[in-house]
Chains A and B, each alone.
Chain A
């Protein structure tokens, strides 16, 4: 065996390690791929070996190759093997590889559950840490469900290093397994007050992340966070909390009132500090870093707080002014953040930001694209009726200047967004807007042609007054189409022709010269446009044709009408030959129609009315959600079957038929009825017919396709390329600038008129109250639209449901986490707890004797051999020195002479020294006792057995099959200096009385010379408090509870309590698991609930060192005991 190991290490020497691999890749620059593929072959060989060191090395190299883009998922099983190594070094390599390449659909993840559980409970905190880190990257819903309880236990681990990781990973667990949130939440909340700052910050982190998505569920934590905010010195925690308040305050205005004063003070102080160092800044130094962060976010919070409180406008002015300084600063990061903060303020206080328009427009010229985009974002919220034209004009200038299509496209979309926001609220002159849109079509190479097109359509359809103008503009656009279609291949702008053609066709009655437009629409060049646009052209040419006919009606000279028909007949065949089915179909239809019309025309028959009837009726816009909002009529069940569901045996092709074909009685005879010759012949004929008509049916002779082959393809049509590098002015189009001027004049005129009127009015009203505002800046409402604009609202179905449905994506994992956390836990919300650990251990006693983690995946024999080797080694170092120290009661000290073992019980009961007895949150009759065993001696402790003398009321839960006096084996050994936690479950029948259980712990002390058997006696004290669970309660629910009259009351007095009231309350909360319901001055109501559902209510009053506690509970004995315990707590201090 030794030989094997030696061989293994020699092998290893010849293997490439990660450094060699990297070096090799760097030396093979020319044929890197080839070199790597040979390396992968080597790795495959290495993975086949038994030596775990070789495997780990191979996996490490794979992790590197994964970074270079190589798929290494084929090695997933080997990665799991390395993960399950008992050595930390290899385990870490394995978990790293797993975290880099495992994901939810990796199937070997299923195999890891037990391994991860084992690592989580490893005595070595770094094994646990590595497992937690790895798990955080590849946790799946299954893993989350299976391991939630284990991780929850780790949240109260002795080592802060583990605690903080366990707390943090809970967020991932919640996301994957939302049911775990409620059971885990009380403990998570506890961690907000953890003594270790790292754990505290992790808890804050998790809760903030949760609250960001569902803030209303976390309102009850506000007081706690407020306390943390004023006490925390950790910038990270501070920022997170401030951000959290930002989310909470809009929901609870009272919170804002409370916060605003301390925050305003802070802002002044910070600003003072800030202004002092601002001068010395070239770039951000770390000194002011944290200050800046706090500064910026205090501001944003302050703003969101004060929303709805008009009297705080002064502080907002202050903020905005400070932000302006940031934005004007030379440092780009500050500028960026200043703009970001501005955009947050803008949401609640648009007015105060709008006054800094100049600054923001200036930022559009910044060399930094990030800053320009931020500024654009701000502009969106800043527009008003008054400044819209001005802002858009500025933006148009930037469009012309902009380099790079991405930024230009961004500008374009922003212009359209700005103009079209909230149903064109800010547009006073639609002619101006149309001309802006037309100007935008001159942008070359934009991707947003369809966006402009949809705007044109929207405006033309919904603003009736603008149609005449729009149609004229579109007609010019169609006439100049060649300018837009210059290079169709990469130009998305031709999409606007779609809109132009449709508008000209649909509203053709407004056209000045329909004949000209018709001609423009039927130019041969149109055939180079994309198919869907051609289709619209053809269809709308027909509409135009109808209009021309109509206009010529009654006209004795029918030449124009005939010319139109001739034009159609001449030009349409081009489209009939189109390769696009839609175009072809429409064109041939219309062509035949026109031919027929021409015949009628020649006979002087009036046809225009009939032709117009083809396109009669008005199209109204339909709201995008209209379909969804149609109410379901009474008595219609959409889920019900129309027919009986088809039976399983029915063949598939019959299923869809069943809906339409006449229902055949199920019991009738089978389908294959006799068919006579005639019927068969008929069917054959029908099939032939069908095949002939089916375009997808490949026929013997392709005669019907000849037509396509003979006609020249699209490629043969000569296309003249026009160089459009210079933005062209489309002739005949009015410039939007003109409208700005016109609008300006119009407004001035209006103002003048108004003034006159005002004067008149004033003259009339001289006797009234003094002066009115006369020439002040015109307010929003004063600006009247240029023409009476009727913005047609989108149509909704009659009696549509008014409810605005949830906008959130149903796939959003946070939706599942929208859970009321204040409701007491129900029995059904258990976390799946694996059977007791001790029981698990008993199943595999061989492993426990070794005391090492044996992977379930590894061949058992070998691993145990390796371990024996190692243990020998350890034994040598063991020293004989033995001491004893106890963290517990006197009985212990007497007993233990040779062994130093501290039996620290995690506390939660009132005397704070004992042990953690917690009611099992999910089961009313179970109590979980967590015990931490710490070996303080220099010897090895093994074969630890835990036993308790059961009483009638309380019994230790033992694995099935063991007798009532059998002891439980503790599933770990303790090397010197190591501690570990074990948990024991007790079933308790009655919880109304405190009780003590006697127990013993036996174990073997092993050192170099000998091993001795030792025994420890102890007592477990189950207080009544330990049966209580901190349960939050609202004051109204509390009041109802008291009113119900089911509760018995009792009271105690505590004399000489010398502590502030809030300390007193905190003490009761902490030691006795109560929560404060309400506090008024020196009086507070508190609530708690036992694991069996008893309500315990307290009313605590303090007056000059005397505390009176009036209590009510539905179980008087329990109440008495709890009160005694409270009394004891305070007598000790």
Chain B
């Protein structure tokens, strides 16, 4: 199970947070800070796994992260997930974002947090991996975008 997915930038500013277990808002912010602290002090050439922070469950949980340019993508998972599998999933997720936003950059995530959430919802559901096939994910996201568009058109015409 995935316990949380956090995306924040090099300064620790959250760009997307998705907790699959309830934490109060202030606790969520503390977890983000702690995770950022743990992840940001690591070099780029060390491994992508580390033991979870004390706030999010301690050593039963692992943080698996990737660092892309200005953004950190961090998944907090328990022992049932395979480490490399999650790394792969992060890659799939980022590549999907790249396709959906056409050369994704931090600004896309800043201004379209909702859309990023909708894409993520097609990848992970309730903390379980839903789909790993990028084409399938993109197809579903696009159908829903079209649906949204078709709904907004008649409204404006009126």
Point out residues on A near B: beta carbons under 8 Å.
2, 5-6, 9, 18-19, 22-23, 26, 53, 60, 63-64, 66-71, 87-89, 92-93, 96, 100, 103-104, 124, 126, 132-133, 136-137, 139, 161, 164-165, 168-169, 171-172, 198, 201-202, 205-206, 208-209, 212, 234-236, 239, 243, 284, 286, 289-290, 292-293, 296-297, 332-333, 335-337, 340, 367-371, 373, 869-870, 873
Contacts and interface: CB of A to CB of B under 8 A. Distances in A.
A9 B151 contact: no
Contacts of B129: 205, 236
Given A64-B113, A286-B91, A292-B84, A333 B48 contact: yes
Given A96-B114, A132-B125, A5 B85 contact: no
Interface string B106-150: 000011111001100100011111111100100010011001100
Contact of B133 (A70, A198, A209, A243): A198
A289 B113 contact: no
A43 to B, nearest CB: 15
A88 B25 contact: no
B74 to A, nearest CB: 14
A71 B24 CA distance: 8
Nearest to B95: A286
Given A67-B14, A103-B22, A168-B125, 7 more contacts: A9-B156, A64-B113, A71-B25, A133-B126, A168-B130, A289-B88, A333-B83
A137 B84 contact: no
B111 A18 contact: yes
Contacts of B10: none
Interface residues of B, number: 58
B88 A286 contact: yes
Interface in B57-95: 80, 82-85, 87-88, 91
Nearest to A5: B158
Contact of B85 (A6, A168, A239, A286): A239
Which has the most chain A C-beta neighbours within 10 Å: B16, B47, B117, B144? B47
A297 B128 contact: no
A673 to B, nearest CB: 56
5 contacts: A96-B121, A126-B147, A168-B125, A234-B132, A239-B85
Contacts of B100: none
A212 B81 CA distance: 11
A60 B125 contact: no
Contacts of A335: 47
A614 to B, nearest CB: 45
Which has the most chain A C-beta neighbours within 10 Å: B42, B51, B82? B82
A235 B43 CA distance: 30
B143 to A, nearest CB: 7
B40 interface: no
A736 B1 CA distance: 45
B103 interface: no
A293 B117 contact: no
Nearest to A202: B130
The 10 closest A-B pairs by CB, nearest first: A136-B126, A332-B47, A103-B22, A368-B46, A69-B29, A336-B47, A370-B50, A293-B84, A89-B148, A333-B47
A336 B20 CA distance: 26
Contacts of A337: 83-84
A332 B46 contact: yes
Nearest to A297: B82
A236 B158 contact: no
Contacts of A236: 85, 129, 132
A168 B84 contact: no
B111 A22 contact: yes
A69 B80 contact: no
Nearest to B45: A332
Contacts of A367: 43, 46
Contact of A239 (B1, B28, B82): B82
A198 B136 contact: yes
B148 A370 contact: no
Contacts of A336: 47, 49, 83
B126 A168 contact: yes
Given A18-B111, A243-B80, A370-B49, A133 B155 contact: no
Interface string B8-25: 000000101110101011
* Interface of A: prevailing SS: helix
A179 B85 CA distance: 32
Given A165-B125, A169-B125, A370 B147 contact: no
B125 A126 contact: no
Which has the most chain A C-beta neighbours within 10 Å: B29, B48, B84, B147? B84
A502 B60 CA distance: 36
B140 A161 contact: yes
Nearest to B92: A286
Contacts of A96: 114, 117-118, 121
Contact of A870 (B22, B117, B154): B154
Given A333-B48, A336-B47, A235 B118 contact: no
A122 to B, nearest CB: 12
Contact of A296 (B84, B88, B140): B84
A368 B50 CA distance: 10
Given A198-B136, A286-B88, A137 B126 contact: yes
Interface string B30-52: 00000000000011011111110
Given A169-B126, A212-B80, A371 B47 contact: yes
B11 to A, nearest CB: 12
B26 interface: yes
A322 to B, nearest CB: 16
A289 B82 CA distance: 12
B43 A66 contact: no
Nearest to B17: A67
A369 B73 CA distance: 20
Contacts of B49: 333, 336, 370
A804 B67 CA distance: 47
Nearest to B136: A198
Nearest to B114: A60
Which has the most chain B C-beta neighbours within 10 Å: A209, A239, A333? A333
A6 B155 CA distance: 9
A137 B22 CA distance: 9
Nearest to B26: A69
B91 A22 contact: no
Contacts of A63: 113-114, 117
B20 A137 contact: yes
Contact of B154 (A18, A290, A873): A873
Contacts of A168: 125-126, 128, 130
Contact of B46 (A100, A137, A370): A370
A293 B128 contact: no
Contacts of B133: 198
A293 B82 contact: yes
Which has the most chain B C-beta neighbours within 10 Å: A26, A67, A201, A873? A67
A104 B23 CA distance: 11
A365 B12 CA distance: 29
A1089 B63 CA distance: 48
B123 to A, nearest CB: 11
A53 B151 CA distance: 12
Contact of B151 (A2, A19, A88, A100): A88
A6 B157 CA distance: 10
Contacts of B156: 9
A6 B158 CA distance: 7
Nearest to A19: B111
A404 to B, nearest CB: 10
A104 B21 CA distance: 10
B110 A22 contact: yes
A93 B114 contact: yes
A9 B50 contact: no
Contacts of A286: 88, 91
Contacts of B85: 235-236, 239, 293
B114 A243 contact: no
A550 to B, nearest CB: 50
A161 B122 CA distance: 10
B113 A18 contact: yes
Contacts of B46: 332, 367-371
